[in-house]
């Protein structure tokens, strides 16, 4: 045997990865994150616009309702000193309006409401006990 046979084979040094492949991967990652960011921004803008439109519509309806209730209040106030108005709008929204300028008026309305409710509420049916 020769000496060269006893020696293990020399390891070949690892090849360095080409900078092009790593750059391509980085570019792909940048492009994908940029596209994801732009998609997020688009969705955020759509959501923001939808919320803003909904809020604007709500404020417009609320102002309109307040104006209508104020008009009704002033009309009824010409005829009644204190009153409670309960009802629903055409849309089905509940309306409750209490006009009691003083504590005395508020107490008298409370008493009148109690009398009204006790008069028009049916007593519960007899419950048979077993």
Contacts of 28 (CB under 8 A, 6+ apart): none
| Element containing residue 95 per DSSP (H, E) | strand 94-99
Domain boundaries, the chain: 23-79, 81-121
| pLDDT(2) > 50 | no
| Residues 6 or more apart in contact with residue 94 via CB below 8 angstroms | 86, 87, 88
Residue 88 corresponds to which tokens in the numbers above?
Answer: 């629903």
Secondary structure letter of residue 90 according to DSSP: T
The tens digit of pLDDT for each residue in 63-112 reads 777 888 888 888 998 999 899 998 888 888 888 889 999 999 999 999 99
SS3 80: coil
- pLDDT tens-place string over residues 28-38: 666 677 778 88
């Amino acid at each position: 045997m020769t000496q060269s046979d006893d020696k293990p084979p020399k390891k070949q040094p690892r090849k360095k990865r080409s900078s092009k492949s790593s750059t391509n991967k980085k570019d792909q990652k940048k492009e994908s994150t940029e596209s994801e960011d732009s998609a997020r921004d688009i969705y955020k803008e759509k959501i923001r616009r939808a919320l803003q439109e909904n809020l604007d519509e709500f404020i417009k309806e609320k102002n309109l309702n307040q104006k209508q209730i104020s008009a009704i209040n002033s009309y009824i106030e010409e005829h009644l000193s204190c009153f409670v108005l309960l009802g629903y709008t055409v849309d089905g929204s509940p309306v409750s309006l209490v006009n009691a300028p003083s504590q005395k008026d508020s107490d008298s309305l409370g008493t009148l409401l109690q009398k009204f409710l006790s008069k028009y509420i049916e007593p519960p049916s007899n419950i048979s006990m077993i």
